[in-house]
Amino acid sequence: MVTLSTPMARRLPGPTLTLALAALLLVASVLSLTTGAAGLGAGDLLTALWGEGLSLRDQVVFFDIRLPRLALGMAVGASLAVSGVLLQGLFRNPLADPGIVGVSAGAGLGAVLAIVLGGLLPGALIALVGPALVPLAAGLGGWLTTLILYRVATTSQRTDVALMLLAGIALAALTGAATGVLTYLADDRQLRDLTFWGMGSLAGATWVKLATALPLMVLTLLVAPRLAHGLNALALGEAQAAHMGVDVQVLKRVTILAAAAATGAAVAVSGGIGFIGLVVPHLLRQAQGPDHRPLIPHAALLGAALLVLADLIARSIVAPAELPIGILTALIGAPVFLWMLLQRSGRGR
């Protein structure tokens, strides 16, 4: 006799996964700190931790080059991964990655606008926001694109995947054109800024750069766990979420703001690094299931670890030159995206 059974969902116990991810992040961090052109290794790191015996040059390498780069990588990776989780929860669809649906492009336009036209703003405003102008403008750009995308692709019961992806293409094309116009208008100094920014890399990380974007990122990482319960309910549709006690309008507004702020801040300091927000949540849902309560902190850990590792590979694979990290994440992420599309068509929807 043949017994048929529906496939059971497999779940890894939460604490095990948390520990494994934390260990992965630790290993990635140590590797990142002890790898580089200056030839400083693990022994030197230990010496540095004890705070003596390092030359001034070595101290600069550790504390002003590698450490800010590591911190920026962790912050950007965690922000992009958590943005992915938030957008996917909002759109009730695992394919909503900030890069794919045009949110990063919108944030990019905001950043370019700030670089090229920022000088036209009143001096008082510039003095107020200071170097955080570019991340803030990027966050604003991301927020506007997310709002438009949500209007186009979502009704109260469901997200139309095809509409969402097509709207993403349209938004990316539109913001790309606007970015092109601005590039054309830019003067030489601005062009240099734009080129640096557009390379999409963690190179040139400084504590100052990190400090401009960190507040928005930290804010999102603090707010996101509070949205987890509501996003779980939202998986059953807006009406059901409301009947289960969720204030859906507030949930949607805060989720859009948080995802846009983190994406904007990440794009402002690292350019367009794609697919982290797609791959990380996908891997974690396979391992632990879709519950947003563990998913959000786990995504922050895995996003940070993966981006630090990707950066490590990007700067060692063609050393002493450096591969733009965006190329590397796309190489890994795009096939995963295609694989997920295949899985969906196999499911028949």
Partner 1 sequence: MLELVDVSVQLGRRRVLHDVSLTARAGEFLAICGANGAGKSTLLKAALGELPATGSVRLNGLAVAQTRPATLAHLRAVLPQDSEVAFGFTLGEIIAMGREAGDFATRPDVDDLTLAAVGLQGREADDIRNLSGGERQRGHLARALAQVWEPVSPQGPRWLMLDEPVASLDLGHQLQVMRLARSYADAGGGVVAIMHDLNLSAMFADRMAFLVSGKLEAIGSPGDVMQQALLEEAYGCRIALNHAPSTGPWLLPQACQ
3-state secondary structure of 95: coil
Give least dist CB 235 to partner 1, A: 4
Q: Which stretch in 135-143, 195-203, 234-242, 298-306 sits in contact with partner 1 by CB under 8 A?
A: 234-242
- Please report whether residue 245 would count as binding partner 1 according to CB under 8 A: yes
**Distance, CA of 309 to CA of 172 (rounded, Å):** 28
Residues 6+ apart with CB under 8 A from 151: none
Q: Which two tokens stand for residue 110?
A: 């905001």
Residue recorded with tokens 């700190």: 33
Candidate list 101, 132, 216, 246; residue touching partner 1; CB under 8 A:
246
- Please report whether residue 225 would count as binding partner 1 according to CB under 8 A: no
Candidate list 71, 248, 259, 299; residue touching partner 1; CB under 8 A:
248
Q: Which two tokens stand for residue 231?
A: 């996003």
Residue span 64-93 as binding mask against partner 1, x where in contact by CB under 8 A, dash where not: ----------------------------xx
Residues 6+ apart with CB under 8 A from 306: 77, 81, 276, 279, 280
Candidate list 237, 283, 322, 340; residue touching partner 1; CB under 8 A:
237
By C-beta, is 59 or 157 nearer to partner 1?
157
Torsion angle in degrees (nearest 10) through CA of 254, 334, 68, 256: -10
Q: Which two tokens stand for residue 32?
A: 């990142």
**Distance, CA of 273 to CA of 247 (rounded, Å):** 33
3-state secondary structure of 154: strand
- Please report whether residue 321 would count as binding partner 1 according to CB under 8 A: no
- Please report whether residue 18 would count as binding partner 1 according to CB under 8 A: no
Give least dist CB 224 to partner 1, A: 17
Candidate list 98, 139, 290, 297; residue touching partner 1; CB under 8 A:
290
Residue ranges binding partner 1 (CB under 8 A): 6-9, 92-94, 157-158, 229, 232-237, 239-240, 242-248, 285, 289-291, 347
